[in-house]
Structure 1
Amino acid sequence: MAQRKTIRSRRLGKQIRRLRDDAQLNQEKLVELMNTDQPRQRCISASHLSRVESGIARISSEHLDRIATVLDIGTEQSQKLDALRHRADEPGWWQEYSDIVPETVEMLVEIGEDAATAHSYDNVYVQGLLQTRAYAETLIGNARAFVSPINVDRMADLRMRRQQRLGEDDFQGLVAVLAEGVIRTLVGGRDVMREQLRHLIEVTQQHPVTIHILPFTAGALPGTDNFVIFGFPHELDGEVVYVDSDTAQRIYEERNPVRQYTYIFDAALAQALSARESQDLIRTVMEEL
């Protein structure tokens, strides 16, 4: 039975496909080798393997073991694949919010739960992983065209729960670039903004978070999209980019768009203030409020 495509199932499929490509086998040949000396009821079809590699079908532990054997990938890598298979089948805590957020946002949370690193670029508002609740509620409440007032609290809950990832042991770090206009835009009033700016300083002391401010003096912004580039611990995963705008959210896993957004992030970081200079500017803006 087909399952809803998730980031974890897509990651598993991508890893299987890359391992198969490395072995220079097409899907039909891999299936042929997997089915050798197997009774018909335990065979896998090429069409099913194709759906597995696309992230829209489950794969059994037995079939995954046969893939590992045929491709001779080794015990450690085989165990990592099986662990990802189990995680792809597990319901995530974020699914309890599926009635109020689009599937793309659910996938964003799922990406963040598994990612080891994150590089973000924001030129309008503070990155969601760094927002205070009051700041988040103001932004969510202002999006009246897309969010029912009754759902503001739940969406803020979701955003706050996402932030717990910053404190988990296997999270390696967030590097955030914020345009200066982000910290100078008065969101929710002076008290809310002071609290938000104070939080930007405190979060770097509590978690593996580094914040760089891209000053007005840097000139034209290197990009207009707000985005996060997520990196994963497994070498076969590659990177995933989540792009956010007022009207749409997009996820890119293909090499070219990932490379393009990485270039934009690197350009922004190169023009941004150092972490210490950024902290000083944040404090200055706080004092001006």
Structure 2
Amino acid sequence: MAMRSTPTGRQLRLGAELRKLRERAGLTSTQAAQLLGIKQNQVSNMEAGRHGVSPDRLRTIACHYDCSDKPLVEALAAMTPDRKRGWWEDYREILPTGMLDLAELEHHATRLRTAVTVHIPGLFQTTDYAREIFRQAVPELPPPDVEHRVSFRVKRQTVLFRDPPTPHQVIVHEAALRMKFGGPRVTRDQLRYLLEMNEREHVAIHVIPFDARIFPGSGQSIYYAEGPVPQLDTVNLDQSHGPVFLDAEAQLNKYRVLLNRMEAAALTPEESQKFIHNVVKDL
């Protein structure tokens, strides 16, 4: 397979998982190369996502690394096909790479979980609401860049409408519901859209009201994408300088617990539906 100059986030993750398998086996890259009958730099390039690997080759590597976790091996094998052009590739060299990696992550996720305190989650934003969010970027974005980001965000929502749709749990603080981005009309339309989405079978929206007695975590936005096996889950933290992706086992466990605690502190989807209706009436 040809060398890649710019591996995608998914390809980088596959390489990182291969490195984890090797390290769990107690092998150096040189020892792994000897077992596989290849050069050491080929092992390094595979682990850096610069060189692809076939499904059969990956299964052979896992065997040499004494990995008996068949579900994990098969999940990794499913990640091996070389880059298939996803719709997000149309935005390459237009938008930051991290945004493309996020769309690719969502596309392959088996379930999504979001917790927000200030903004409505991106996959649930209306175009007017999203446009107002991007207009607040620092430094200020030129109008064409704002529109590129808005269209990209709307296209990401495909995962909620495809067949089958990706299940999505949303935990939103009351503060995010009451922020009037774009004014009362934009906010009202946004909340009505949120109510509409909460009626879908694969969507569960939970509101944490101001009068909740606890609020787990620091208040930052958390986006959790579940993979085909728990080891391939990914956490995305939305930072001002761009998205940050976490996949270390300790971090995954931490954010699973944190989201579970937030869910326990929040209203049920049915209670949340009534709550959001009341917020709309207040506008």
Q: TM-score, normalised by structure 2?
A: 0.86
Instruction: Report the equivalent of 1:56.
Output: 50
Instruction: Report the equivalent of 1:33.
Output: 35
Question: Is 1:188 matched with 2:169?
Answer: no
RMSD: 2.8
Find 1:229's aligned residue among 218, 224, 227.
224
Paired letter, 2:237:
V
Count matched residues: 279
Secondary structure of 2:267's counterpart equals: coil
Secondary structure of 1:121's counterpart equals: strand
Question: Is 1:258 matched with 2:252?
Answer: yes
Q: Where in structure 2 are there 5+ consecutive unaligned residues? A: none
Q: TM-score, normalised by structure 1?
A: 0.84
Q: How far is 1:283 from its partner? A: 0.3
Q: Is the 8 A contact 2:113 2:168 kept in 1?
A: yes
Q: Is the 8 A contact 1:15 1:236 kept in 2?
A: no
Q: Is the 8 A contact 2:55 2:78 kept in 1?
A: no
Give 1:238-253 correspondences, 5 Å limit.
239-253=233-247
Q: Is the 8 A contact 1:118 1:173 kept in 2?
A: yes
Give CA-to-partner distance per residue, 1:183-219, whole Å, 9 cap, x none. 1111212221111111111112235111111110125
Mapped to 1, the partners of 2:230 and 2:135 lie a distance apart of 40
Secondary structure of 1:217's counterpart equals: coil
Give 1:18-29 correspondences, 5 Å limit.
18-20=20-22, 25-29=27-31
Q: Structure 1 or 2: larger helix share?
A: 1
Secondary structure of 2:15's counterpart equals: helix
Find 1:84's aligned residue among 43, 59, 79.
79
Mapped to 2, the partners of 1:189 and 1:32 lie a distance apart of 64
Q: Is the 8 A contact 1:204 1:211 kept in 2?
A: yes
Instruction: Report the equivalent of 1:141.
Output: 135
Mapped to 2, the partners of 1:61 and 1:229 lie a distance apart of 26
Structure 2 vs 1, CA of residues 104 and 187 (structure 1 numbering), >3 Å: closer, same or farther? same
Q: Is the 8 A contact 1:18 1:236 kept in 2?
A: no
Structure 2 vs 1, CA of residues 184 and 18 (structure 1 numbering), >3 Å: closer, same or farther? same
Q: Percent identity?
A: 28
Paired letter, 2:10:
R
Give CA-to-partner distance per residue, 1:34-54, whole Å, 9 cap, x none. 22xxxxxxxx22222123123
Structure 2 vs 1, CA of residues 221 and 99 (structure 1 numbering), >3 Å: closer, same or farther? farther
Greater Cα offset, 217-226 or 74-83: 74-83
Paired letter, 1:204:
N
Find 1:8's aligned residue among 3, 6, 10.
10
Structure 2 vs 1, CA of residues 75 and 176 (structure 1 numbering), >3 Å: closer, same or farther? closer
Mapped to 1, the partners of 2:202 and 2:88 lie a distance apart of 23
Greater Cα offset, 275-284 or 45-54: 45-54
Q: Where in structure 1 are there 5+ consecutive unaligned residues? A: 36-43
Mapped to 1, the partners of 2:46 and 2:59 lie a distance apart of 14
Q: How far is 1:62 from its partner? A: 6.9
